[in-house]
């Protein structure tokens, strides 16, 4: 069996510019994970829970669990959000807690522009005993990393109307070093947070009275890594069912589905299969989410398609 722990060791030891943020196929429902300006934009309390199992069948493959809450603050233009995330791959586990605040201004009769700020804490754990150490005297393998805390800040912008949205964000502005080689090395840091630039946009088209169509795009730019592009399209049928697909450039194709259980509950699922050489070693990726929203009056429409 191909072991991903070797890959993880290579990533830790050499690829300081690697893609670091957690990946989601249902990003169009989980915008708060990368853009704090989204907080409160749905006009009601929204709670989102998801689990992602990536590259099933590959030992040590990524596993991501997330829980988020966001809501407008009373009748003001302020939104607040809280996110918890657990992301693990091989011997590396990261826990993240984020606090978000947004402020919206009216740009037209039916559109708003929100600005968001994020304060976060990253807790890193690395268990080097799970790796096959070729050099027992390697300074990196002498002691594990246990709950190493790194604070960070981020910001975002999110413009939206009833039918369209455009967003830009940098979730982590501080390039924090996680693992250092020491004073005697010419390289002071071999694992470091890099700036992730996110851009997202989407529009809802009315195909008929009962069918909506929403294409969407998400791009991620990180220094030293290939350009990442996600293209998706979803249909909403009778305000009850969603079905669609997405394509991640040079990486994967996803099939998306969702069911609006009732006015408050939305259940969704995504299945990915790789379009690169990794497809030989795994049976795909699974992602499931559940969203609960509180509607106290009929003044808030439900459900909005983004």
Q: Structural domain of residue 45, as residue ranges?
A: 4-294
Peptide bond just before 10 cis, omega within 30 deg: no
Residue 301 lies in a domain: no
- Residue 243 buriedness (CB in 10 A; 0-12 / 13-18 / 19+): middle
Please report the pLDDT score of residue 148 as a whole number: 86
Residue 81 lies in a domain: yes
Q: Each residue of 209-234: pLDDT tens digit?
A: 999 999 999 999 987 788 899 999 99
pTM across the whole model? 0.86
Residue 304 lies in a domain: no
Residue-averaged pLDDT of the chain: 86
Domains identified in the chain, total number: 1
CATH of the domain at 94: 2.40.160.40
Residue 55 lies in a domain: yes
Please report the pLDDT score of residue 121 as a whole number: 95
Residue 303 lies in a domain: no
- Of 241, 246, 247, give the one whose Cα is nearest residue 267: 241
Residues 32, 247: Cα–Cα separation, whole Å = 21
Residue 306 lies in a domain: no
Residues 298, 306: Cα–Cα separation, whole Å = 19
Highest mean pLDDT among 34-48, 144-158, 183-197, 213-227: 34-48
Q: Each residue of 46-78: pLDDT tens digit?
A: 999 999 999 999 888 999 999 999 999 988 999
Exposure letters 114-142 (e unless 16+ CB within 10 A, then b) = bebbbebebbbebebeebeeeeeeeebbe
Structure tokens at 117: 């700020």
Give yes or no for a contact between 173 and 152, defined as CB atoms under 8 angstroms apart.
yes
Residue 126 lies in a domain: yes
Residue 305 lies in a domain: no
Residues 116, 100: Cα–Cα separation, whole Å = 7
């Amino acid at each position: 069996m191909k072991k991903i722990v070797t890959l993880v060791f290579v990533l830790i030891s050499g690829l300081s510019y690697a893609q670091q943020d957690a990946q989601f196929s249902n990003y169009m429902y989980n915008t708060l994970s990368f853009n704090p300006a989204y907080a409160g934009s749905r006009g009601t309390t929204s709670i989102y829970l998801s689990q992602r199992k990536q590259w099933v069948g590959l030992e040590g493959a990524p596993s991501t669990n997330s829980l988020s809450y966001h809501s407008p603050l009373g009748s003001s233009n302020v939104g607040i959000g809280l996110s918890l995330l657990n992301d693990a791959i091989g011997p590396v586990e990261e826990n993240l807690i984020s606090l978000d605040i947004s402020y919206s201004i009216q740009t037209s009769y039916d559109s708003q522009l929100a600005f968001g700020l994020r304060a976060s804490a990253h807790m890193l754990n690395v268990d080097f005993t799970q790796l096959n150490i070729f050099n027992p005297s390697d300074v990196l393998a002498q002691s594990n990393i246990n709950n190493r805390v790194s604070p960070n800040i981020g910001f975002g912008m999110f413009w939206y109307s009833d039918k369209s949205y455009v967003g830009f964000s940098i979730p982590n502005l501080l390039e924090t070093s996680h693992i250092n080689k020491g004073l005697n090395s010419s390289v002071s840091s071999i694992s470091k947070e890099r700036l992730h630039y996110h851009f997202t946009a989407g529009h809802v088209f009315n195909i008929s009275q009962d069918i909506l169509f929403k294409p969407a795009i998400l791009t991620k730019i990180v220094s030293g890594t290939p350009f990442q592009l996600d293209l998706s399209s979803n249909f909403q049928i009778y305000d009850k069912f969603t079905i669609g697909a997405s394509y991640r450039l040079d990486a994967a194709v996803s099939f998306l589905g969702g069911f609006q259980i009732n006015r408050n509950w939305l259940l969704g699922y995504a299945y990915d299969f790789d379009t690169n050489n990794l497809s030989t070693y795994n049976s795909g990726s699974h992602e499931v989410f559940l969203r609960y929203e509180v509607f106290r009056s009929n003044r808030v429409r439900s459900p909005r398609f983004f």
